[in-house]
Structure 1
């Protein structure tokens, strides 16, 4: 589906039009996530940035249902985040990062959260961003999502994840090499 032109990733024109329709419809249905923002300005920025549009397509294709959740006036960037109710299906059963993946002797997952995010051109949410997202809806009530882990925790072999249970956001820990069918990751993309 993707093609490379002059070392840039591009989507076929039909998919671009389809993706704009999907994103615009989702934007209109969820105005509480981005009050005061204008879709036409967002689309214009996306039209000028094929690589970011490709990343949004990857978020969509892996089940993330990306939507605009904010605007950074300092950098003039719109902020997209995976807003699917449960952790994206196409990004589950992954350990935390490449080091964790390599440390497994058997039963290795196919990928890691950090590795997949890098391939997709997105970032894992930080703990603060994950908590902010939970203000916009109820996410991960049956699943959990890896979040960017502070260096001091990762150096000790751990990684952190979040979920929403009993009306509260919980951030907890696990060995970075662990993986579960109900744990994936959510991504963030600035355009």
Structure 2
């Protein structure tokens, strides 16, 4: 997909900004001390990031600001949908795992789709930090960034929340399930 394909129409841009502002204002507990004017200004200066946020929204992620990096001046957006985004489920972990499947291949991989969207998977710590803002993935699970030493051995990690506790598990990287997707992170 070329850069020309990664540009929102004025209507899409306006609709996305309205959606993001409404979510931002409804969930102030996720970003105390931050104001929408600063976020909007940063978004308008980075149209390629708006495209990525549009993809997060389109696939069911409900992205919202969960932090601000004072060193870089970047706002941190994360998928805040109650369950793993519907448009990003039934994916194996990465392109290598997808290639290794001989039959019953999923439609794609979490790492590959995230790269196509211009976002990254949450790390295990970022996933745990998100869970401090609410109860996410109580019926689903989400792939998280897997350390290279685990991936080299064929595994991949995922997390969920059950019994008011955040759990980290492992599975073969080539596995995929209807209730497992991934949550993304975008710095703007």
- Bin the TM-score by the shorter chain: over 0.9
2:34 paired residue number? 37
Which of 123, 133, 136 is matched with 1:136 structurally?
133
State the SS of the aligned residue for 2:108: coil
For the aligned residues, what is the CA RMSD? 1.2
Question: Does 2:171 correspond to 1:169?
Answer: no
1:11-50 → structure 2 map (5 Å cutoff): 11-50=8-47
Q: What is the rounded CA distance, in whole Å, between the counterparts of 1:95 and 1:77 in structure 2?
A: 30
Q: How many residues align?
A: 188
- Once the two structures are TM-superposed, the CA of residue 3 in structure 1 deviates from its matched residue by 8.2
2:67 aligned residue: 70
2-side partners of 1:49 and 1:16: how far apart?
12
- How far apart, in 1, do the equivalents of 2:3 and 2:73 lie? 27
Deviation per CA, 1:8-33, whole angstroms, max 9, x where unpaired? 72100000000000000000000000
CA–CA distance in structure 2, aligned partners of residues 116 and 140 of structure 1? 19
Q: Report SS of the residue matched to 1:136.
A: coil
Deviations along 1:132-173, one digit per CA (max 9) or x if unpaired, are 000000000000000000001000000000000001000000
Q: Distance in 2 between matches of 1:45 and 1:27?
A: 14
Aligned match of 1:10 = 7
CA contact (8 A) 1:3 1:11 kept: no
On the 8 A contact 1:141/1:163 being kept in 2, the answer is yes
Normalized against structure 2, the TM-score is what?
0.98
Distance 2:186 2:3 in 1: 20
Structure 2 distance, partners of 1:15, 1:51, is 13
Q: Of residues 115, 120, 125 in structure 2, which corresponds to 1:123?
A: 120
Separation of aligned partners in 1, 2:73 and 2:24: 19
Q: After the TM superposition, which segments of 4 or more aligned residues of structure 1 sit over 2 Å from their partners?
A: 2-5
Please give the secondary structure, in 2, of the residue aligned with 1:67. Answer: strand
Unaligned runs of 5+ in 2: none
TM superposition score normalised by structure 1 = 0.96
Counterpart of 2:49 in structure 1 is 52
